[in-house]
Amino acid sequence: MDDATARRVLGIGSYATREQARAAYKRRAKMIHPDRHAHTSAAAQRDAERAMAELNEAWHALRESATRTRSTEDDIAVRRPRERGCEICGYRPAVWIDIRALTGLIIVHSSDRYAATLCKNCGTAIWRDVQARTLTLGWWGIPALFVNLAVLVNNRTYGAALRELAPPQARVGSSPAPMSEPMPLTKPVTVRVLPWVATVSVVLIIALLVVAAVRAQG
């Protein structure tokens, strides 16, 4: 794969540095990895496997090439405003989201960021999985307990934007998006068991600790 094709697959211009290319690779890999599409049709899973293989090839190609440092006419063309569809399927309308999945680890916590321009279907599918993961794993730490509340509020803001977005209408011509169709919707967060179990458990633990503290003082 040549340099120009690799950069197109990663969604970056020829002005992008190697660090920016790495960030673009990680960001896209989170969204198109075959594991994320395990619940979809066989055709969609094949699409995801092909897209992931292409993304890996693009990253390996860029790692071997020299980083460009000067602007070119191609850079200017890339920087010009252009119509953009969903980064996963290429459909429009699409909206920018920036959500996080938090994992609490007693005294520390880690987070994964999912930031992209997505259509209603792809964005909602990813948003539901991320929010469910955060509700399940984000509470289990002292700092994480408070950070998780902020993360959930932030995610809900983008969830509201996705709900207001119109359904996917048409694919942007010559879109570099790796998938040919929007992602099918995943199960709503409210019908998933683990987020409820985890959240209710945390509430009960906090309530028991408060009661124990009050009795100890009495």
* CB contact at 8 A, 100 and 151: yes
Beta strands 108-118 and 170-171 are unpaired
Q: Kindly report, residue by residue over 20-39, the tens digit of the pLDDT.
A: 888 888 888 888 888 877 77
The CA distance from 144 to 136, in Å, is 12
Average pLDDT value for the chain: 83
In the chain, what are the domain boundaries? 3-79, 91-187
pLDDT of residue 23: 84
CA distance 93 to 123: 11
The predicted-structure confidence for 153-162, as pLDDT tens digits, reads as follows: 999 999 999 9
pLDDT, residue 13, reads 76
The SS3 of residue 82 is coil
What does the pLDDT read at residue 180?
84
- Give the mean model confidence (pLDDT) for residues 159-169: 94
Write the pLDDT tens digit of every residue in 178-215. 888 899 888 999 999 999 999 999 999 989 988 888 88
- pTM summary value: 0.76
Domain 3-79: which CATH class?
mainly alpha
Say how far apart CA 31 and CA 81 lie, in whole Å. Answer: 24
Residue type at position 118: L
